[in-house]
């Protein structure tokens, strides 16, 4: 895809994979709308990218886990007079621990951000792309999408939703000039594990820049989904080969506080 003189909206753009998407697409000539809770980090990113690449970066500080966040983003975009050509739904978070011991409010926010806001933003910005006959929606899923994960039950379920939703969307958009892609990273070197804890990190961590490169290559090929990294692709394929109970047993062992791997 040619990102020159396009506008890309990126959620969760203040750090990690979202910030890497912002840097790479700005280098390719795309203007940006960056959305996250941290206004300071977004402002710093805007100054960096404007100086380095001469692109326009609009900052929208917003908690996307709150009800109505998608409508608020749409309203802000309209106020800016911006046409969004590419949507990257990257914002998301995970909780760790047994559901019976978890915070119900936090788990509801997890579902809201990972699923509802992603769907809402897609549904609000997609019609304009279809009408114009070009654009893309990139939804960041996870290798957690491919099997249930005890102690990360909500997170795995939300990412399974993202993967299924996006692959179905890609099929709906065939022939429209608009692409939809679910990218499934494994463990990635981002602040994600600063929040959830190291016990959730499985395998060798990839760099955010590698996830972005994998995503853009898959977009060029028109793929509906892609798993980042060779070893992660093997991990994603394994549940299809094992009985369901065996898959659950492996996932349970991996997420124990003192995992057996």
Residues serving a catalytic function are 155
* Concatenated DSSP letters of 219-259: HHHT-SEEESSHHHHHHHHHHHHS-HHHHHHHHHHHTSSS-
Q: How far apart are CA 17 and CA 153, in angstroms?
A: 23
Q: Which two tokens stand for residue 32?
A: 């940006």
The H or E element that residue 152 is part of is none
3 state SS of 81: coil
Q: How far apart are CA 113 and CA 158, in angstroms?
A: 9
Q: Which two tokens stand for residue 134?
A: 């070009």
């Amino acid at each position: 895809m040619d990102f020159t003189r396009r506008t890309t909206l990126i959620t969760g753009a203040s750090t990690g994979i979202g910030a890497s998407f912002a840097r790479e697409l700005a280098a390719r000539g795309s203007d940006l709308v960056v959305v996250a809770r941290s206004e300071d980090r977004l402002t710093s990113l805007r100054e960096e990218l404007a100086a380095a690449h001469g692109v326009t970066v609009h900052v929208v500080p917003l908690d996307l886990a709150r009800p109505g966040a998608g409508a608020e983003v749409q309203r802000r975009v309209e106020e800016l007079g911006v046409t969004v050509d590419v949507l990257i739904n990257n914002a998301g978070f995970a909780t760790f621990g047994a559901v019976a011991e978890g915070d119900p409010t936090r788990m509801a926010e997890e579902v809201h951000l990972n699923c509802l806001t992603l769907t809402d933003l897609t549904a609000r910005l997609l019609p304009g792309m279809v009408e114009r006959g070009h654009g893309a929606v990139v939804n960041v899923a996870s290798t957690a999408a491919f099997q249930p994960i005890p102690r990360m039950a909500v997170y795995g379920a939300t990412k399974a939703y993202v993967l299924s939703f996006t692959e179905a969307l890609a099929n709906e958009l065939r022939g429209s000039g608009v692409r939809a892609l679910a990218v499934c990273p494994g463990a990635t070197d981002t602040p994600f594990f600063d929040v959830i804890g190291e016990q959730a990190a499985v395998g060798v961590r990839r760099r955010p820049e590698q996830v972005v490169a994998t995503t853009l290559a898959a977009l060029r090929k028109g793929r509906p989904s892609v798993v980042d990294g060779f070893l992660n692709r093997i991990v994603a394929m394994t549940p299809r080969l094992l009985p369901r109970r065996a898959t659950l047993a492996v996932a349970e062992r991996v997420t124990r506080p003192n995992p057996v791997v």
